[in-house]
Amino acid sequence: MLEFREYDDHAAVVRCNTKATETVTIPETYNGKPVTVIESKAFQNCTQIESVEIPESVTDIQDQAFSRCLKLAHIALPANLEHIGTNAFGGTRFLASMIAEGGMAVYGTYLLNGKSVSGDFTLPETITLLADDALAGSISLGDVTILNPALIIPEHAVYNQKNAAGDYVYSGTIRADEGSTAQAYAEANGYQYAPLKAPVLRGDIDDNGEVNSTDAQLVLSAFAEMISGNEHGLTETQFTAADIDEDGELSAMDAQYILEYFLNNTVLNTPTDWETLLAG
CB-CB neighbours of 147 under 10 Å: 17
CB of 280 within 8 A of CB of 267? no
pLDDT of residue 234: 92
What pLDDT does residue 115 have? 87
In whole angstroms, give the CA distance from residue 271 to residue 273. 7
Please check whether residue 218 is in contact with residue 205, taking contact to mean a CB–CB distance below 8 angstroms: yes
pLDDT at 104: 86
Spatial separation of the C-alpha atoms in residues 241 and 233, rounded to whole Å: 14
Q: CA 55 to CA 168: how far, in whole Å?
A: 34
Number of helices (H) and strands (E) in the chain: give both, helices first.
6, 20
CB 107 within 8 A of CB 128: no
Average pLDDT per 10 consecutive residues for the chain, totaling 280 residues: 95 93 95 98 95 98 97 95 96 92 88 91 95 91 96 95 90 94 96 86 92 95 93 91 93 94 92 90
User: Any idea where the domains of the chain sit in the sequence?
Assistant: 2-195, 213-279
Nearest by Cα to 158 from 114, 100, 106, 108: 114
Q: Report which of 116, 161, 119, 166 is spatially closest to residue 143, judged by C-alpha positions.
A: 119
What pLDDT is recorded for position 249? 92
In b/e form, how buried is each residue of 50-84, taking b as 16+ CB within 10 angstroms?
Answer: bebebeebbebbbbbbbbbbeebbebebbeebebb
Residue 59 confidence (pLDDT): 98
Q: Which of 2, 81, 85 is nearest to 46 (CA)?
A: 2
At residue 280, the pLDDT reads 75
